[in-house]
Structure 1
């Protein structure tokens, strides 16, 4: 499950766990490198397979890459304008946090 991190006001951030739908043909090669040194170079191109409030990003195209070999990949890019904005902008707490489950 990749991470989607977005910045909030005052230096805070929130990280969502997201599902990334990738082409089934990529599954064997992804699985093959998951616990190997090559994992650090893993790049997954697919679509978000769940909705993230408050943005309703499903099914935005997304690219996930490895930032830390001890963690699952992070969504780092998108050709979708809204997801690209989510990744690069700073958001008000009250716009994002009220949508998180308690």
Structure 2
């Protein structure tokens, strides 16, 4: 809702497998994802996007409740561009998204 109110077009996908098949059909401008998801972790998806799909230029921003330094480090090491810890402010989200688009 925050991004839509900020004027962004948002496609929401809750199942990792569906996201991967959608990425084949339509290259996103930016990807927001959590680390903890059903079936696959966000870290696994990030690695797959970066290596298998060769979307090196598509920014990936992690949004997660995991707030340990190790989680942040590992998410960025797997190919993420930014990491916001939940709860995050709407302003932080909008500013982070704008900085990568």
Q: TM-score range by the shorter chain?
A: under 0.3
Q: Which structure has the highest helix share of the two?
A: 2
Relative to the length of structure 2, the TM-score reads 0.25
Relative to the length of structure 1, the TM-score reads 0.25
Q: Which structure has the highest strand share of the two?
A: 1
